[in-house]
Structure 1
Amino acid sequence: MEKAKVYFTDMRVHPGTNLPEKLKKLIKRAGIGEIDFEKKMTAIKIHFGEPGNLSFLRPNYAKAVADVVKEFGGRPFLTDCNTLYVGRRKDALEHLSAAYENGFNILSTGCHIIIGDGLKGTDDVSVPVKGGTLVKEAKIGRAVMDADVFISLSHFKGHEMAGFGGCFKNIGMGCGSRAGKMEQHNSGKPSVDPDLCVGCRICAKNCAHGAISFTEKKAVIDHSKCVGCGRCLGACNQDAVYNENSSAVQELNIKMAEYTKAVLDGRPSFHINLVIDVSPYCDCHAENDVPIIPDVGMFASFDPVALDQACVDACNAQQPLKGSMLDDNMHAEGFCDHHDHFVNTTPESEWETCLSHAVELGLGTREYELIEVK
């Protein structure tokens, strides 16, 4: 396979221009205009940020991408799917409130916001994964799959399990419904916390497999009958249904790659990573630590594998920022150098498996040509 083209621009601007305009120039140079956007509904997948976290991408960047899509005749909307964990984005009402609180709305971005998996995270579709080893059918938010064109706009930063959160994390995990996220994080079999369960029986009403019974007015899930559809998780208003076991990091990475395959297959797609405010943890945290490295720039490509590889390479070429978590770890007694900034930040994390498996799935190549846009 020949090298993929990855386009890059730094964060320097001069009087008379600005960063949103520079982002527009980058994605046009990278060939986004080759996509037929005319009257096409275009999903722009972005993370709206957990309230309290201030390292998420500003709405201005989303508007720049939406403006370009509209310039080419497309009908863009911003989207993300509800979270599995209990936070401010676990259902569409709270998710939209969080997005508004963080500055995302039709005035600031020039397009609507649609939560991809619906009100309670149960509005999904089963999408076959061609070549999938751990996932045969991915549970993807319906609005994501209904779009004619798909664009990922990702904040490239650290992640406590996947090493870094970039294109694949944004797409694979981000586009999974709550049940899809559960499948990626574990075996797909939820359990019930009896201390939170109030015995309302709404979970049982939503279970099509008779897997839920009640003991002393508390729900109990029979894993031999449960198929992991996640309907009970979405139905519970008490957050009593939860994931019992977490998958190994390598298994999580494989599943993320396979979910990304499900999202991208069969339609035009384009991918953008902004390597700025590179926090050690995901934007799902309700806080953000200081960046581990300086801002690098903006990257764009049709190839999601090459894009993430180029970004991680660029990050590893940077000097750690003094006083960051990475710097602290590197000066700690007994430090073991993994020669990778993200693994040195969170030694239990791992990211190689995701990109390697993505290549096996035919999603792209790790070999790239970096083209700088001034």
Structure 2
Amino acid sequence: MEKSKVYFTDFRTVLGVSLPAKLQKLIKKAGIETIDMEGKFVAIKMHFGELGNLAYLRPNYAKAVADVVKECGGLPFLTDCNTLYPGSRKHALEHLDCANINGFNTITTGCQILIADGLRGTDDILVPVPNGEYCKEAYIGRAVMDADIFISLSHFKGHEQAGFGGAIKNIGMGCGSRAGKMQQHNSGQPHVIENKCKNCKRCAKECGSNAISYDNGKAWIDPDKCKGCGRCIGACAFDAIVNNNGDAPQLLGRKMAEYTAAVVSGRPTFHISLITDVSPNCDCHGENDAPILPDIGMLASFDPVALDQACVDLCQKAEPIRNSQLGDNMAKEHFHDHGDVWHNSNPNVSWAETLEHAEKLGIGSREYELITMK
């Protein structure tokens, strides 16, 4: 079986050539122009960043992709779905305001912005999951599925539960409506080990569901409010919060892969990832910690599995940044080296199962040929 092709270029450039222009050259070399886009709706799925977060991709990169789509005769729009947790993107009006504040509008991106699952996050469509083991149908934002062609534009970074956020997370979790996100996250709910709780209240600050209280001087998670997102686990510095279901991170990853299969099956797709500002946690946070790795480069492929695997491999080879969450962990006296940057940064994560399951579903291959463009 022929290996998937993944195209790569670093962030070096020369006088007179901008990085957005270099990205355009990369995606053209990777074959985006071979897609018949004439007169067709093209969804460009990306993350507009939570208010306060500065690690998300700049709108300049979105415009670079949208302009290439328009050159090919396509009708591009940027899109994302509303969040499950309360924040600055929990319904379409706030979501659009957030996008605009963070620099995404028709002038800066050259195309319209649509919130795929509508005003309240309920405008979804049930999409069959080919060969799905955990989800037979996926709740996907309607505008994503109404598009003729789908492009993912992902910020590759760390994640406090999935290990890393790349193409599959951007597609699978990102294209799920509120009901879809709940279906993916409901594999388990965390609970508090009281004798480890230091009453620092950091977990409550990170909780997007107002599920954590301190009535008895220790954190308590209300199971009726908890949505199982796992942000409190990543927030706790004392290992006082654990998941009731030990397989929850693995199940989350497999469900994200199944949601990705629902989105990409049966139509032309193309995938882009930028390994820059590699924050340790998700762009859904209202802040971003210092990068754990240096900026590495831009990648593009027709295969989202190969793309994620290539990004993982490049990150594993990179030198960790000392003044970062990863660097701090590795400097601890009794540090246990997992031999993996994602586990070293967030010890409770699980990521390999996501790629394994995605490959099993036939979304793509973990075997790839990396083609470097200067």
Normalising by structure 1, we get a TM-score of 0.85
Runs of 5+ consecutive residues of structure 2 not aligned to the other structure: 190-208, 213-222, 231-244
Q: Aligned residue for 2:315?
A: 315
Contact 1:48/1:99 (8 A) holds in 2: yes
Deviation, 1:188, is: 10
Q: Aligned residue for 2:351?
A: 351
Match status 1:131 vs 2:135: no
Deviation, 1:333, is: 2.3
Q: Aligned residue for 1:115?
A: 115
Contact 1:46/1:80 (8 A) holds in 2: yes
Q: Which digits, 9 at most, give the CA deviation of each residue in 1:219-247, with x for residues without a partner?
A: xxxx9xxxxxxxxxxxxxxxx96526866
Runs of 5+ consecutive residues of structure 1 not aligned to the other structure: 196-222, 224-239
Q: Which digits, 9 at most, give the CA deviation of each residue in 1:9-36, with x for residues without a partner?
A: 0001110101000000000000001100
Q: Which digits, 9 at most, give the CA deviation of each residue in 1:300-349, with x for residues without a partner?
A: 00000100000010011000012111010011122111111111100100
Matches within 5 A, 1:226-265: 243=227, 248-265=248-265
Secondary structure at the residue paired with 1:42?
strand
Q: How far apart, CA to CA, are the structure 1 residues paired with 2:343 and 2:363? A: 24
Q: Aligned residue for 2:38?
A: 38
Matches within 5 A, 1:44-83: 44-83=44-83
Contact 1:306/1:365 (8 A) holds in 2: yes
Deviation, 1:168, is: 0.4
Give the 4+ runs in structure 1 shifted more than 2 A.
Answer: 192-195, 240-247
Normalising by structure 2, we get a TM-score of 0.85
Q: Aligned residue for 1:22?
A: 22
Q: How far apart, CA to CA, are the structure 2 residues paired with 1:144 and 1:241? A: 28
Matches within 5 A, 1:89-100: 89-100=89-100
Deviation, 1:194, is: 10
Secondary structure at the residue paired with 2:254?
helix
Deviation, 1:2, is: 1.7
User: Structure 1 counterpart of 2:303, which letter?
Assistant: D
Match status 1:2 vs 2:17: no
Q: Aligned residue for 2:174?
A: 174
Q: Are residues 322 and 93 of structure 1, via their aligned partners in 2, closer, same or farther at CA, if it must alter by over 3 Å?
A: same
Secondary structure at the residue paired with 2:107?
helix
Secondary structure at the residue paired with 1:26?
helix
- Compute the RMSD of aligned alpha carbons: 2.0
Contact 1:82/1:95 (8 A) holds in 2: yes
Q: How far apart, CA to CA, are the structure 1 residues paired with 2:272 and 2:179? A: 26
Matches within 5 A, 1:291-306: 291-306=291-306
Q: How far apart, CA to CA, are the structure 1 residues paired with 2:171 and 2:56? A: 16
Q: How far apart, CA to CA, are the structure 2 residues paired with 1:160 and 1:139? A: 24
Q: How far apart, CA to CA, are the structure 2 residues paired with 1:79 and 1:32? A: 19
User: Structure 1 counterpart of 2:227, which letter?
Assistant: N
Match status 1:144 vs 2:128: no
Identity of aligned residues (%): 66
Q: Are residues 76 and 188 of structure 1, via their aligned partners in 2, closer, same or farther at CA, if it must alter by over 3 Å?
A: farther
User: Structure 2 counterpart of 1:101, which letter?
Assistant: I
Q: Are residues 176 and 337 of structure 1, via their aligned partners in 2, closer, same or farther at CA, if it must alter by over 3 Å?
A: same
